[in-house]
Amino acid sequence: MKKLYSALMTAFNDDGSINEAGTREMIRYNIDVNKVDGLYVGGSTGENFNMSHEQKEQVFKIAIDEAKNDVDLIAQVGSLDLNESKYLAKFVTDLGYPHISAVTPFYYNYTFEQIKDYYNEIVKDVDNELIIYSIPVLTGVSLSLDQFAELFENPKIIGIKYTNADFFLLERVRNRFPDKLILSGFDEMLLPALALGVDGAIGSTYNLNAKRAKAEMNAFDAGDIDKARQLQKDSNDLISALIANDIYPSLKLVFKELGVNAGVTKKPMAQPTSEMIAGAKKIYNDYLKED
């Protein structure tokens, strides 16, 4: 059965410290209301790359303490500091996370051999399984079919969080590696990803839109493609509105309309403005408010 994961957000206070109570509220909403199958902790949506090392540890602790064994958990431990990645891989494994993930190293135009070494080093000393986080639009790193094959030679590397608009490559990867886990990372392209045989999806908008996304997955599995297309269209209307209103702070502002204390984004990300708040209220009323 295909699984749906929310990319967990982190609630911050105005001073950039972590709002633990708000982060816990978002975890509970995802589990109790959204009924997601899992949480992807420490990813882009969680503002991981704006955090200090100590804040990353704090979020990993909060998430597993609050979620316990209610849902699957994946901890994103990737960092430009390989020693930090290795440390966090052991840290979350010791906490009890069943899976780890790591973004491809970015900024310095690393060679593939360096990227391969990075992944092998992360998993070398931990008893855990790793999911490659491939997101070329943010990292500038596009892995080829043969490069994925080389990475999969390590038995601890079990799959991909595939946040890539190259669906020709996705089809090739799925066909060549039928036993590897592939989780779609672009919420707006869930339906074509399902058609290409992904095992599930991880996304930021599922924090708000999980029910619709799960209904789309169920419709696809039942062969009701017209219904699945309509649900994807409805989701994409919501996604377009969130992007136009600045997606990361808007996700948190809409959460507040749902009664969840999601805090604010951490600077230098945008802080709420009166226009943004009004936009979030409209998004809630237009796309999420239940009669």
Cα separation of 16 and 31, whole Å? Answer: 26
Query: How many C-beta atoms surround the C-beta of residue 162 within 10 A?
Result: 28
Active site residue 161: yes
The domain 3-222 belongs to what CATH superfamily? Aldolase class I (3.20.20.70)
- Does 202 belong to an annotated binding site? yes
pTM beyond 0.95: yes
In this prediction, residue 115 carries a pLDDT of 98
Cα separation of 129 and 82, whole Å? Answer: 17
Angle between helices 112-124 and 82-95 (to 10 degrees): 30
In this prediction, residue 291 carries a pLDDT of 60
Query: How many C-beta atoms surround the C-beta of residue 267 within 10 A?
Result: 12
The β-bridge partners of 139 are none
Q: What is the pLDDT along the chain (291 residues), one digit of tens a residue?
A: 899 999 999 999 999 999 999 999 999 999 999 999 999 999 999 999 999 999 999 999 999 999 999 999 999 999 999 999 999 999 999 999 999 999 999 999 999 999 999 999 999 999 999 999 999 999 999 999 999 999 999 999 999 999 999 999 999 999 999 999 999 999 999 999 999 999 999 999 999 999 999 999 999 999 999 999 999 999 999 999 999 999 999 999 999 999 999 999 999 999 999 999 999 999 999 999 986
Q: What is the pLDDT of residues 16-48, one digit of tens each?
A: 999 999 999 999 999 999 999 999 999 999 999
- Which residue stretches of 68-134 are H helix? 82-95, 112-124
In this prediction, residue 14 carries a pLDDT of 97
- Which residue stretches of 152-224 are H helix? 167-176, 190-195, 206-221
Cα separation of 132 and 148, whole Å? Answer: 9
Cα separation of 8 and 11, whole Å? Answer: 10
Catalytic residue, from 56, 86, 116, 161: name it: 161
- Angle made by CA atoms 118, 121, 125, in degrees to the nearest 5: 155
- Does 205 belong to an annotated binding site? no
Catalytic residue, from 118, 119, 133, 287: name it: 133
